Chains A and B, each alone.
Chain A
Amino acid sequence: MKKILWMLFVSLFTLQLSAQTTAQGIVKDFGTGEPVSGVKVSLLQQNISTQTNASGEFFFSYIDAGSDEISFSRGGYFTQIKLVNLKEGETNEVGIITLRPDAQSESKQDFILQLSEAQLDDDGNLQGISGSFLSQSDVYISQTSYNFSPMRFRTRGYDNKYESTYINGVRFADAERGGFNYSSLGGLNNATRNKDLSYGLNPNTFSYGNLGSNTNINTRASIIATGHNASGSFSTGNYMLRGQYTYGTGLLPNGWAFAVSGVVRWAKEGIVEGTFYNSAGLFLSAEKIINENHSLSLVAFGAPTRRAQQGATTQEVYWLAQSIYYNPYWGYQDGKKRNSRIVESFDPTAVLSHDWKINDKQRLRTGVAFHYSKYSNSALTFYNAPDPRPDYYRNLPSAQLWSQYNTNGNQTGEVNWDAYNELIQDWTDKNSKTTQIDWDELYKANYANNVDNPEETAKYMLERRHNDLMELALNSTYTNQIGKIWKLTAGIEGRTSKGMHYKTIDDLLGGKQWIDIDQFAERDLTGNTELELTSRDVIQNDLLNPNRAVTTGGIFGYNYDIYVNSANAFALSEWNFHNLDVYFGAKATYTQFYRHGHMQNGRAPENSYGKGKTYFFVDPSFKGGLTYKIDGRNRISANIIAETRAPLTKDSYVSERIKADIVGGYDADSIYHTITSEKILSYDLSYTFNFPIVRGRISAFRTHVHDAAEKNGYYDDEYRTFVNYSLIGVNRIYQGIEAGVSVKLNSSFTLSAAGTLADYHYTDDAFAISNYENGTKLDATDTVRISGLKVNNGPQMAGSVTLSYSHPKMWFADLTLNCYGNNYLDFSPNRFADKNIAKYKEAETRIGQPAEEGQIGIVQQALASQEKLKGGFMLNASIGKVLYLKDRKQLNFNLSVSNLLNNTNMISGGYQQARVPLKKDVTSKEKQIIDTENLNKFPSKYYYAWGFNLFFNVGYRF
């Protein structure tokens, strides 16, 4: 150790004595000849990077002399690598570098974004997308971000909240859900293409860093390519047509730069039945370079979107419909397809940022962002009327088989095959009154009800569930290159947000009004339930406005706000020695939140109205790491982080729609459990190599998460209520290896391969609290036996090989083979609860097939095991051509095809239904026991990855 320190001291000393070695140059667009800003310029062997400024200039100080490779990369351009020979103590002039626009990868990127948008969950969050697009320098990331999206792959298995996205230096993260919602960018791909990305725990230039990727989207006007860029696309995916136009002025002589971008996306019907898509986005950016030291940028964008959703359904229904694109959410109304689940979203956003170059070494970047997210989706609801869902389990042919077979599948009864066949025939004939939503019937029911009960609640209606969010965020980051060796980054972040959650009536479907009571409470609280009906109060959703008649647009059901405030400060110190880079940092975060209810709910009159209790958390974080540069071409790096994190509000309330109670309860030993900050320990080790022909990386990582909280929600058809199922004390591990390698076969062909073999699982059992929103059952605690179950976050094994071809005359083509495996279906914790496991054991004994000690019996196996989804292969291809026209105009074509072989057997996701099949115990009558003849009554629901689909794009730059 002493020796090393001595060496460090000597090298430090000698370097300080000599004159500085520097390098500089300018980057221009091959087509237009305009300077290109925001280009990441790296000295590959020294592991040093910088970015070009608005004039396309870059400058390296404190570099080592000798021969090196200098790489230039930016989204939308081909990466260029140039050999340089840096002379000691001189300012090395690299000259003018021209970058060729890479329209090919832009189109491919847009295509992938579209594929990923198919995975928008009910809350509108893009689950399958990480910010990590187009990092040309890392083979693994560029391979995986392109190719694995259709299978909901997540790098390292991390949730959104373990990745960070910044826009012009301000962090964008939903305070309630913890992650960045990619769809809030509204398809403004051109304007948001420029990204600075760091992967894993590696330090980056704009933040302290998260566990997964850290992306800074740079949308300053000066960075948007100068000139006009228009494109038109045709796709067979979510949307059919897309038009996009971007204009950037570049840096004008007066120091201003402006940019504008617009995008329109449209489909009458996407690849999935009954889904339309309609979106228009506008982006405006202005920047003023005040002087050498100060620049100011304002960016505003938003994209109102209306689109229809797809629902997961059971294997039986997909089989009946003979299509993986079957969608239970639509039906014919007046001959037109009408979807019941329509999302409306609009995320107007403004970011004001200030960049202050205090001097050559110090820089202060500050940004303020205002973001108002309006998000809502509609859903059918009904009152004292039959369930309108076409895939309602009792209406399917399989219901005719119930109870006619024993646990082992032997027929013991008599099936009414005529009825069974008739029900199948409805699907074969595509009788839309059975196979889709029967809107006619819903209207008819309401019209009849208007005659019969003119003052009463409509039978059916479309409700709209709103989750709006208003937030203000500030980030300020200070960097100081104190000397050749030492660099300091420090920052503060503050954010405040108000989430507004309420329901409105979207369409009464011919009905007159809706009475704001909980119909299911009304039904069930009168029966043999734990809560007795003492008065009509309990069924009121708002005791302050009992039995209120609500009409279209009116608020009903629930109405509350969640306020979250947080602040953090960090400092990160980096030392770059000759062969060794070392860093460490620390961060402290303060978080507080509370709920404010606007309704006094009859099931929680004491704790639903007004301001709830404020909860706060203080969370420290420490990280550190080192990179050992074996030589210019081989590097080994290791990182570690230890931190705690406040729970997200979405996981913190027992039933946030109803009351302000925090998740917590007593276990069997009378020990109280409640939400706490989760504890994280994460470390990784990487080897990176960078030869002219072969480059790549191999990494191993492991992350321990302890005391996490999770929330599952489901509709319980038996109790006719929404059930909140909260888990606390959840311990998970994420570990694996990942590798990417790229081989330049000759001047035309490149072969890239990437793959990961990982394991994300729960390491311990967890504590559960269940809540029935209609109050039919009291909040109950249980232990869920989830130890060993896999984390459902995409395939845990994935690989891809790409052969790409590029012709000097600007022809491009590539072919990619992807394979996936170790993908696990989302399990329902309720099925793993002790309460249910006891029932499985009883059932096994009852049917004479008890499980041996320590073994899992036949019933438990059927009801409480996690499904491993089938793996498979997918072949993708693309071809493109760029044409340079007169006057530096440029035309490009690209055709991308996903799933060339139309593999329609790939389940990409879904979930296990929470409900367990029960029946009355014949002997005791009182007890509900497992219905061993119908173990598969509530099968899992799935989504399939799309089959063959294509994307054709024509772009024109002028």
Chain B
Amino acid sequence: MKTIYKLTVILFISLFFAGCYGKYDALPNNPGSFNDTRATHTIAQFIAEFASEKGDFFPVRTNSGAANLYSVDSIPMYGDDIIIEGIVVSSDTAGNVYKSLFIQDLEQPEIGLKISVDAASISGVYQLGQKISIRCNGLAIGKYAEMWQLGTVYFNNTEELQKKGYEPGRIPYPMFKSRVETHGLPKKDAIVIHDMTIDEILNYPDRSIDARLVRIKNVYFTGTDQGKEIADAQKIFAIDTKGVGYPSSRDIKSRDGSSTGYISVATSEYSKFAKKRIPGSEQTGDIIALVGWYHDKDDDRYTGNFQLTIRSLDDLIGFKIQ
């Protein structure tokens, strides 16, 4: 009986041991400081130094034509570190931004940059207001439909001949992870939102407005798609494109006449609010959006257009959405 008693004691000790094994304490929350910096270039300096008009990879996408709507410049893999930093101003949680991050320069918040990464839901890790720095060595900067983006050298080997050729591609996630650092916890207050009118955007003299986070006050949805009236049933943020995959454009105009032109809010059919009806033209409100530009074809009839991307319905202020 003594043996049994002893054995039972030993077993209970080992059970306790077994129960605790493989349990882990939470990692400490050491996010570092928002003020840490390792940047070598501002975004503007970076583009000026490394992006060329035509790029160094050919052929680029066929549609690019003489206008160089697409370009790819590789950034040296070796040599000095080339590091940019910024604060994340995009979020893909609502599904309207996909496999990309938009950052805002800390010194020049009017300058932004789109970063293309091959990871769905990347905002889950690089959240709104997060300060990040990216070592760009070995990546590529280039124009995608005439808008700058940071990515990798990518050859789009598609049967659609007009799209075949080099373009800035998505950075493989492990490559992105090995280059990115976060600094501090997300700080939404640090994001600068630029108040602009529609006409100011439309008439902006160069492409440095792209990827800027703007607020346009006192606007209404016109119920048109780049000027063309939308059938009532289709007055939702994005229609089903049956797999083609283009965003739907929903024009807005200034209510108070401060601008005369219209600009389009472009929404992906994959966003969570795609099926919601756009606010009626009787409603007025403010809109916060990322400025985008899409100029895909070198064609006189088509000179490209601005596309405003709202990150979620929270970017529509003062509108009632059903």
* Cβ–Cβ contact A278 & B21, under 8 A: yes
Which residues on the A side are within 8 Å of B185 (C-beta)? 447-448, 451
Of A262, A441, A448, A925, which one neighbours B243 at CB under 8 angstroms?
A925
The answer to whether the Cβ of A342 comes within 8 Å of any Cβ in the partner chain is yes
Q: Within B32-67, which residues are at the interface with A (CB < 8 Å)?
A: none
How long is the Cα–Cα vector from A121 to B8 in the complex, in angstroms?
Answer: 31
The answer to whether the Cβ of A621 comes within 8 Å of any Cβ in the partner chain is no
How long is the Cα–Cα vector from A423 to B172 in the complex, in angstroms?
Answer: 9
* Cβ–Cβ contact B243 & A920, under 8 A: yes
The answer to whether the Cβ of B178 comes within 8 Å of any Cβ in the partner chain is yes
Consensus secondary structure, chain A interface: mixed
Which residues on the B side are within 8 Å of A394 (C-beta)? 118-119, 172-173
The answer to whether the Cβ of A431 comes within 8 Å of any Cβ in the partner chain is yes
Known: A386-B124, A528-B240. A413 touches B174 (CB 8 A): no
- Of B151-159, B219-227, B280-288, B289-297, the one touching chain A: B151-159
Q: Within B92-132, which residues are at the interface with A (CB < 8 Å)?
A: 92-93, 95, 118-125, 127-130
Write out, one digit per residue, whether chain B residues 147-185 have a CB within 8 A of any chain A CB (1) or not (0).
000001111011110000010010011110110001001
* Cβ–Cβ contact B157 & A922, under 8 A: no
* Cβ–Cβ contact B125 & A385, under 8 A: yes
* Cβ–Cβ contact A384 & B172, under 8 A: no
Known: A386-B119, A386-B124, A414-B157. A280 touches B3 (CB 8 A): no
- Of A398-406, A562-570, A648-656, A694-702, the one touching chain B: A398-406
Q: Within B259-286, which residues are at the interface with A (CB < 8 Å)?
A: 269-275
Of B74, B123, B166, B178, which one neighbours A384 at CB under 8 angstroms?
B123
The answer to whether the Cβ of A577 comes within 8 Å of any Cβ in the partner chain is no
Write out, one digit per residue, whether chain A residues 275-294 have a CB within 8 A of any chain B CB (1) or not (0).
01011101010000000000
- Of A59-67, A302-310, A800-808, the one touching chain B: A302-310
When C-beta atoms are compared, the residue in chain A nearest to B163 turns out to be A922
The answer to whether the Cβ of A418 comes within 8 Å of any Cβ in the partner chain is yes
Known: A426-B174, A527-B274. A262 touches B7 (CB 8 A): yes
How long is the Cα–Cα vector from A338 to B120 in the complex, in angstroms?
Answer: 25
The answer to whether the Cβ of A438 comes within 8 Å of any Cβ in the partner chain is yes
How long is the Cα–Cα vector from A778 to B186 in the complex, in angstroms?
Answer: 40
* Cβ–Cβ contact B26 & A414, under 8 A: no
The answer to whether the Cβ of A575 comes within 8 Å of any Cβ in the partner chain is no
How long is the Cα–Cα vector from A448 to B174 in the complex, in angstroms?
Answer: 20
Which residues on the A side are within 8 Å of B155 (C-beta)? 404, 413-416
How long is the Cα–Cα vector from A580 to B160 in the complex, in angstroms?
Answer: 78
Which residues on the A side are within 8 Å of B127 (C-beta)? 445, 448-449, 452
- Of B12-20, B192-200, B209-217, B298-306, the one touching chain A: B12-20
A509 to chain B, nearest CB (A): 7
* Cβ–Cβ contact A422 & B27, under 8 A: no
* Cβ–Cβ contact B175 & A423, under 8 A: yes
* Cβ–Cβ contact B175 & A414, under 8 A: no
The answer to whether the Cβ of B228 comes within 8 Å of any Cβ in the partner chain is no
A756 to chain B, nearest CB (A): 39
The answer to whether the Cβ of A85 comes within 8 Å of any Cβ in the partner chain is no
Number of B interface residues in the complex (CB < 8 A): 70
How long is the Cα–Cα vector from A440 to B127 in the complex, in angstroms?
Answer: 16
How long is the Cα–Cα vector from A387 to B124 in the complex, in angstroms?
Answer: 10
* Cβ–Cβ contact A444 & B24, under 8 A: no
How long is the Cα–Cα vector from A438 to B27 in the complex, in angstroms?
Answer: 12
Of B24, B27, B172, which one neighbours A395 at CB under 8 angstroms?
B172
The answer to whether the Cβ of A867 comes within 8 Å of any Cβ in the partner chain is no
The answer to whether the Cβ of A498 comes within 8 Å of any Cβ in the partner chain is no
Which residues on the A side are within 8 Å of B74 (C-beta)? 418
A529 to chain B, nearest CB (A): 10
* Cβ–Cβ contact B243 & A433, under 8 A: no
B130 to chain A, nearest CB (A): 6
When C-beta atoms are compared, the residue in chain A nearest to B13 turns out to be A280
* Cβ–Cβ contact A527 & B169, under 8 A: no
The answer to whether the Cβ of B245 comes within 8 Å of any Cβ in the partner chain is yes
Write out, one digit per residue, whether chain A residues 519-553 have a CB within 8 A of any chain B CB (1) or not (0).
00011001110001100000000000000000000
Known: A278-B18, A399-B172, A400-B172. A444 touches B242 (CB 8 A): no
Which residues on the A side are within 8 Å of B240 (C-beta)? 527-528
The answer to whether the Cβ of B231 comes within 8 Å of any Cβ in the partner chain is no
Q: Within A345-370, which residues are at the interface with B (CB < 8 Å)?
A: none
The answer to whether the Cβ of B233 comes within 8 Å of any Cβ in the partner chain is no
The answer to whether the Cβ of A465 comes within 8 Å of any Cβ in the partner chain is no
The answer to whether the Cβ of B190 comes within 8 Å of any Cβ in the partner chain is no
Q: Within B228-270, which residues are at the interface with A (CB < 8 Å)?
A: 240-245, 269-270
Which residues on the B side are within 8 Å of A280 (C-beta)? 11, 14-15, 17-18
Which residues on the B side are within 8 Å of A449 (C-beta)? 124, 127
* Cβ–Cβ contact A526 & B275, under 8 A: yes
When C-beta atoms are compared, the residue in chain A nearest to B122 turns out to be A386
* Cβ–Cβ contact A305 & B178, under 8 A: no
The answer to whether the Cβ of B322 comes within 8 Å of any Cβ in the partner chain is no
The answer to whether the Cβ of B205 comes within 8 Å of any Cβ in the partner chain is no
The answer to whether the Cβ of A419 comes within 8 Å of any Cβ in the partner chain is yes
Known: A278-B22, A280-B18. A438 touches B3 (CB 8 A): no
* Cβ–Cβ contact A384 & B121, under 8 A: yes
Of B4, B31, B173, which one neighbours A444 at CB under 8 angstroms?
B31
What is B's interface to A at a CB cutoff of 8 Å? 3-4, 7-8, 10-11, 14-15, 17-19, 21-22, 24-27, 29, 31, 74, 77, 92-93, 95, 118-125, 127-130, 138, 152-155, 157-160, 166, 169, 172-175, 177-178, 182, 185-186, 188, 240-245, 269-275
- Jot down 12 A-B pairs with beta carbons below 8 A, ordered by A: A333-B27, A384-B124, A385-B124, A395-B173, A412-B157, A413-B155, A416-B155, A418-B138, A443-B26, A444-B31, A510-B29, A527-B240
Known: A416-B154, A431-B178. 7 other contacts (CB 8 A): A245-B7, A339-B22, A414-B166, A415-B155, A440-B27, A443-B29, A921-B243
